[in-house]
Structure 1
Amino acid sequence: MKRIALVGFGLLAGSIASALKQAKRPTVIRAVSSPATLARARELELADEFFEYGDVEQWSRDCDLILLCSPILHILKTIDALAHVKWTAQYDAGQSNAPTCLVSDIGSTKVEICKAGVKLPAPFRFVGSHPMAGSEKRTCEHNDPAIFENAYWFVCPPEGTEESAYAELLQLVKFLGATPVVFPPEHHDRTMAWVSHMPQMLSSTLAGNLPERLLKHNYQHYAGRAFRDMTRIAASGWGMWHDIAVTNRDETVRALGEVRDGLEKTIEAMNALDVVADGKPATDDRSAGLETIFKAGNEGRASLFAPGRNAGAAFSEITVQLKDKPGALLSVMQPLAEEGLNIRDIELMKVRENVAGTLLLAFKTPDEAARAVKILRYLGYEVKER
């Protein structure tokens, strides 16, 4: 690509730009965002050209790829703005044979975005997409060129579209280390409703309904890892989830209803138990129904870790930028070992030519990860928490 416009220059757009810059690609990176964000992107040298959102007539010209990286409702507004840029009239009138421009996005829902995108006039052609990557950090200064490594990246072309029509997007996805998955938009939203959107609603509901009998004594502080893990994403910000909820409401409600049906079966199985009373064990074991539910849960959980499939780890992770030279790994591992830090998992992420390698280290606790960050930064390494 000669020129790419990243519209909404936050964490993911900044990470794409950082990977392109590290690889010394000749691609001109065009940052489109708010004035404050553009100033920060300029300081970090993440882009070559800088435009505010409203300058759509300028930043939409002469691009090979426009990637919309803002929140969902803003993406929809930007698509509408692109549909009304005045300079596209020359293509409608057949007065130009200039190359077309691929427009895509990274929104977490796809049906509504793709419906709007396919209506864009020439020279634009639209293919929706969604990388399964991110962080609770939202701004470009937290950019991570390895954030897409081993992640799925859904690509949702209009039905009947030839792969050659979105080749630039596939090339970018693969360059970033992600795995492209071509998916119809409806299948994407139905799947995400179950594996992402419904879990968020459950987590928020669970954390938001702590009973008063616990709260009045501050007993919630005794929560173990199970409750903390199940409510971790309840800390998610409302702004992003508002857009997801209003653009994938029906599928998310459907998923919540299916979970509700499952909970009702679990309650029935619990009520069927012949419980211990007065210190005496039950004479009739009626736990078969609940056992079936547990075994189904075991199988469902195991299916997430099928060979060749990725799954998130439960550890605290950091990434370390390495130089491609002998002893690079040892120079990181040795000081951590000397400080008594136990590394629970390690991965040398894909190393591309002319790009610093990225080492992923996992620790059991956030405190251990924070200690490792402090040590490695003192030694001059570029380290980021995941």
Structure 2
Amino acid sequence: MERITLVGFGLLASSVASAIKQANLPVKIRAVSSPSTLERARQMNLADEFFGYDQTAEWVKDTDVILLCSPILHILKTLDDLSKLPSEILQACSKKILVSDIGSTKVEICKAGTKLPAPFVFVGSHPMAGSEKRTLEYNDPSIFENAYWFVCPPDGTKEEDYKPLLQLIDFVGAHSVVFPPEHHDRTMAWVSHMPQMLSSTLAANIPERLLNYNYQHYAGRAFRDMTRIAASGWNMWHDIAVTNRGETVRALREVREGLDETIAAMDRLQVVNEGKPAENDCSENLEKVFKAGNDGRASLFAPGRNAASSFSEVTVPLKDQPGALLAVLKPLAEAGLNVRDIELMKVRENVAGTLLLAFKTPEEARRAIQILAVLDYDVKDR
């Protein structure tokens, strides 16, 4: 690959560009975006060539790979524009051009992609990476590290035709998963799109009996965690909703059936009467729900099946005092250890929190444990 064209130069496109620049690869980066974004990309030295969205005939020339990184409906429009390019422009291309995308739904995009004429070869894709931040200002060359990156080639496509995409995925540290587009959208409906709708619905339906007294401020971590993604922007989710409506609705209905079963199990409970518990509180059905939930949650982290599980994690209890985080992270940094992920698992006033640290290898985790143990931290391998 000598030249990659990134259409829609937001967070993920600029992160790909940043990774290439950081590694000093001999690859020309062509940015296609709005004038203001292009100017900022130029200032940040994230690209070598700059084009507007409407300059399609220009940014197609001499490129090896086109990666469409704009919102889903814009990806569909760009695919339509590519399919309508004049024949003389297409005939002037001396080699195949691999076209892919990073859209969060795949069926509609792959349908449109398969209509592209030669010399284009289309393979849909979707990296399971991102952030609530959307612009190139927040580019992160390690954002794809250890993430799944779905690849959806049309039937009959040879792996050789999309090898540059697989090489790119491997280069940024992601794990490629070849998946039919229908399977992708069915899976994402359950593990991504339906949870977003549930989170938004939950946050949108805080009852007036709480809001009138500002009682929602007493929400604990459970409610805050469950509604975190309710802060997601509507523009992106509009495109996801309209291109994966059927599967997402099916997932929501399946969850609604589960909620009905849980409500029925709650209704069967025998409540405490006059301070005396019932001899049989009829909680068996609710217990089944909890145990099935335990199993479902555990299945997410089955060894060898979850990309993130390849991280080696340790937990460190913290003191509730200024500088507590720095006291843990500074000696690790001085030892040259790279913390790949970090989470403060419990935060309560005057109660010690637990810091979760993730490392790339077990050896790095062991070194971290040794360093922190010398400093009298009760570090545990998770």
Q: How far 1:364 moved relative to its partner?
A: 1.2
* Structure 2 partner of 1:150: 146
**2:254 aligns to what SS in structure 1?**
helix
* Structure 2 partner of 1:229: 225
Equivalent residues in 2 for 1:1-386, closer than 5 Å: 1-87=1-87, 91=91, 98-308=94-304, 309-311=306-308, 339-341=323-325, 343=328, 359-364=339-344
Structure-2 separation of matches of 1:67 and 1:357: 33
Structure-2 separation of matches of 1:188 and 1:146: 24
Structure-2 separation of matches of 1:237 and 1:141: 18
Q: How far 1:338 moved relative to its partner?
A: 10
Go from structure 1 to structure 2 and tell me whether the alpha carbon gap of 1:249 and 1:276 turns closer, same or farther (over 3 Å shift). Answer: same
Q: What do the CA deviations read for 1:118-159 (whole angstroms, capped 9, x no partner)? A: 100111010000000000111111110000000000000001
Range with bigger deviation, 206-215 or 275-284: 275-284
Indicate conservation of the 8 Å contact 2:194/2:251, yes or no.
Answer: yes
Go from structure 1 to structure 2 and tell me whether the alpha carbon gap of 1:4 and 1:302 turns closer, same or farther (over 3 Å shift). Answer: same
Indicate conservation of the 8 Å contact 1:106/1:130, yes or no.
Answer: yes
Q: What do the CA deviations read for 1:187-221 (whole angstroms, capped 9, x no partner)? A: 00000000000000000000000011111111100
Amino acid at match of 1:340: A
TM-score (norm 2): 0.83
Go from structure 1 to structure 2 and tell me whether the alpha carbon gap of 1:132 and 1:289 turns closer, same or farther (over 3 Å shift). Answer: same
Q: What do the CA deviations read for 1:269-291 (whole angstroms, capped 9, x no partner)? A: 00011111221111223111000
Indicate conservation of the 8 Å contact 2:57/2:89, yes or no.
Answer: no
Amino acid at match of 2:300: L
Structure-2 separation of matches of 1:62 and 1:35: 22
CA RMSD of aligned residues (A): 2.4
Q: How far 1:89 moved relative to its partner?
A: 5.8
Amino acid at match of 1:238: W
Structure-2 separation of matches of 1:106 and 1:98: 26
Go from structure 1 to structure 2 and tell me whether the alpha carbon gap of 1:208 and 1:119 turns closer, same or farther (over 3 Å shift). Answer: same
Structure-2 separation of matches of 1:38 and 1:361: 31
**1:261 aligns to what SS in structure 2?**
helix
* Structure 2 partner of 1:353: none
Amino acid at match of 1:5: T
Indicate conservation of the 8 Å contact 1:304/1:311, yes or no.
Answer: no
Structure-2 separation of matches of 1:276 and 1:50: 70
Go from structure 1 to structure 2 and tell me whether the alpha carbon gap of 1:88 and 1:175 turns closer, same or farther (over 3 Å shift). Answer: farther
Tell me how many residue pairs correspond in the alignment: 333
Structure-2 separation of matches of 1:102 and 1:24: 22
Indicate conservation of the 8 Å contact 1:343/1:362, yes or no.
Answer: no
Go from structure 1 to structure 2 and tell me whether the alpha carbon gap of 1:357 and 1:29 turns closer, same or farther (over 3 Å shift). Answer: farther
Structure scoring higher RCO (CA < 8 A, sep ≥ 6) equals: 1
Structure-2 separation of matches of 1:87 and 1:143: 37
Amino acid at match of 2:152: C
Go from structure 1 to structure 2 and tell me whether the alpha carbon gap of 1:87 and 1:51 turns closer, same or farther (over 3 Å shift). Answer: farther
Q: What do the CA deviations read for 1:299-337 (whole angstroms, capped 9, x no partner)? A: 00011111121359xxxxxxxxxxxxxxxxxxxxxxxx9
- 4+ residue segments displaced more than 2 Å: 87-91, 337-340, 356-361, 365-368
Amino acid at match of 2:147: A
Structure-1 separation of matches of 2:183 and 2:49: 36
Q: How far 1:359 moved relative to its partner?
A: 3.7
| Percent of aligned pairs sharing the same letter | 68
TM-score (norm 1): 0.82
Indicate conservation of the 8 Å contact 2:90/2:119, yes or no.
Answer: no
Q: What do the CA deviations read for 1:60-114 (whole angstroms, capped 9, x no partner)? A: 11111000000000000000111112255653xxxx6821100000000000000
Residue ranges of structure 1 left out of the alignment (5+ in a row): 313-336, 349-355, 369-386
Indicate conservation of the 8 Å contact 2:61/2:93, yes or no.
Answer: no
Indicate conservation of the 8 Å contact 2:189/2:251, yes or no.
Answer: yes
Structure-1 separation of matches of 2:343 and 2:187: 31
Residue ranges of structure 2 left out of the alignment (5+ in a row): 310-320, 348-352, 354-382
Indicate conservation of the 8 Å contact 1:88/1:122, yes or no.
Answer: no
**2:126 aligns to what SS in structure 1?**
strand
